[in-house]
Amino acid sequence: MQAEIGIIGGTGLDDPKLFSNIKEVTIDTPYGKPSDVISIGELGGKTIAFIPRHGKKHAIRPTDIPVRANIYAFKQLGVKHILAPSTVGSLREEYVPGDIVFVDQFIDRTTRREQSFYTATEGKVCHIGVAEPMCPELRKTIINVTKNLGIKMHETGTYVCIEGPRFSTKAESKLYRSWSADIIGMTLVPECILAREAEICYTSISTVTDYDVWKEHPVCIDDIVTVMRANIENVKKILVETVKVIPTQQNCNCKNALSGAFA
């Protein structure tokens, strides 16, 4: 089976009922099995492949997400564009819980994740370029869609990615704010990096659910889930309308990302 677009469902989107004519496929990769079975269905006249990032039962920690297997599986299916919803905390007063952020930069604070398909066993090193870690064309498309829908959003944002699964200390949260980070989460890295290595266009859809702990208020799972559920319909609208206008072919340099990446 083949698919044009991949969606990696974050918290609250681990349900492919958004699609029609769904078939589930199991794919083995050189990097193990993906997070769960992959659902392939139709949306907006396109064939979509859906992977629940944390598994259907949300039992996979951020550190343990088989990101290489997920991205490799999408590549095997022929996916050329990936939309990646997730929930994040805000490090800025103006990034209000309920807002959507279209990340354009990240700061990596992870420590235990393999970030490349090319390791010692492959016998070569891939120096992939991520100066612009999101596909600029796909970001432009999804921003225009969200504007037309009238949904409140931020066109830019720097995402600091922490290892998790614990939340930050107050000292850490204040430090990240001093680095000019705007939002904080646990899953962007290495997902966007591996998508670039696979020469797949990728963009994140970050939903703000809380103010982290810098505002002297502890992060509460119940509060996160409440905001997430209130905003999930907006995310679905964005996905539906974006899928409709994503071109069949890649019109950017993501498809040539490996050119010049090897010494």
Q: Which domain holds residue 180?
A: 5-246
Contact 132, 103 (CB under 8 A): no
Contact 177, 91 (CB under 8 A): yes
CATH of residue 92's domain is 3.40.50.1580
Whether residue 19 is contained in a domain is answered as yes
**pLDDT at res. 11:** 61
Supply the pTM of this predicted model: 0.95
Whether residue 256 is contained in a domain is answered as no
Whether residue 134 is contained in a domain is answered as yes
Whether residue 261 is contained in a domain is answered as no
pLDDT in tens, 146-156: 999 999 999 99
Strand 201-210 and strand 158-162: pairing? Answer: unpaired
Name which of 66, 86, 99 is nearest 205 in CA terms. Answer: 86
Whether residue 70 is contained in a domain is answered as yes
H-assigned helices in 27-135: 67-77
Whether residue 62 is contained in a domain is answered as yes
Query: Mean pLDDT in each 10-residue stretch from start to end of the chain (263 residues)?
Result: 92 71 95 96 94 93 98 98 96 96 98 92 89 98 98 97 96 96 98 98 96 84 81 92 95 96 89
Per-residue burial over 171-183, b if 16 or more Cβ lie within 10 Å, else e, is ebbeebbeeebbb
- C-alpha 94: how far from its chain's center? 22
Active site residues: 210, 212
Give the total number of structural domains in the chain. 1
Residues 45 and 23: their CA atoms lie apart, in Å, by: 16
Whether residue 252 is contained in a domain is answered as no
Whether residue 51 is contained in a domain is answered as yes
pLDDT in tens, 211-256: 999 987 777 787 788 888 888 999 999 999 999 999 989 999 999 9
Could you give phi then psi for residue 47, rounded to 5 degrees?
A: -95, 125
